[in-house]
């Protein structure tokens, strides 16, 4: 007698969906990290430029050009910050979706475990009944 779970196909589908949700979550988190590193690079670039201007005696036209570059870089930093904020929301959304899929899969897993326990209990009862029948038959034949 073999254990056969009636919702096995559903469990397989839920496992696949959970894996897909986990993959989507990990991709979103990786993208967030890439954006964070890009932002960090831009900020470091900005700081280096500030330091360069402070440490060097520059001509007026070079300072004006540097100021234009600083403003442009600041706009890029603001854009990257906005992108990072948006990506954090996306990561949270993907994480919630993954957790939801995980809960759905776990509910089917628990059903499977319960059915398997019931199957084993019934199997043990059947085996015990057979053992009792054998013992009873031996008792009847030895007593004759």
For residue range 70-115, list pLDDT tens digits in order: 999 999 999 999 999 999 999 999 999 999 999 999 999 999 999 9
CB 25 within 8 A of CB 93: no
For 100, the token pair is 């939801």
The CA distances from residue 138 to 73, 76, 126, 133, in Å, are 94, 90, 18, 9
Model pLDDT for residues 109-139, shown as the tens digit of each residue: 999 999 999 999 999 999 999 999 898 888 7
Q: Is the pLDDT higher at 27 or at 66?
A: 27
Residues in the chain, total: 144
Cα 70 to the center of its chain, rounded Å: 39
Phi, psi of 56 (to 5 degrees): -120, 145
Fold of domain 8-110 = Helix Hairpins (1.10.287)
Domain ranges, ordered by start, for the chain: 8-110
């Amino acid at each position: 007698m073999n254990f056969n779970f009636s919702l096995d196909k559903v469990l397989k589908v839920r496992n696949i969906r959970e894996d897909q949700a986990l993959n989507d979550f990990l991709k979103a988190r990786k993208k967030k990290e890439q954006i964070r590193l890009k932002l960090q690079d831009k900020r470091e670039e900005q700081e280096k430029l500030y330091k360069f201007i402070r440490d060097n005696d520059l001509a007026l036209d070079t300072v004006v050009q540097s100021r234009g570059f600083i403003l442009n870089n600041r706009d890029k930093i603001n854009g990257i910050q906005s992108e990072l904020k948006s990506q954090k929301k996306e990561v949270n959304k993907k994480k919630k979706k993954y957790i939801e899929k995980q809960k759905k899969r776990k509910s089917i897993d628990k059903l499977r475990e319960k059915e398997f326990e019931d199957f084993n209990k019934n199997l043990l009862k059947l085996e015990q009944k057979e053992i009792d029948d054998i013992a009873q038959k031996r008792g009847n034949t030895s007593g004759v």
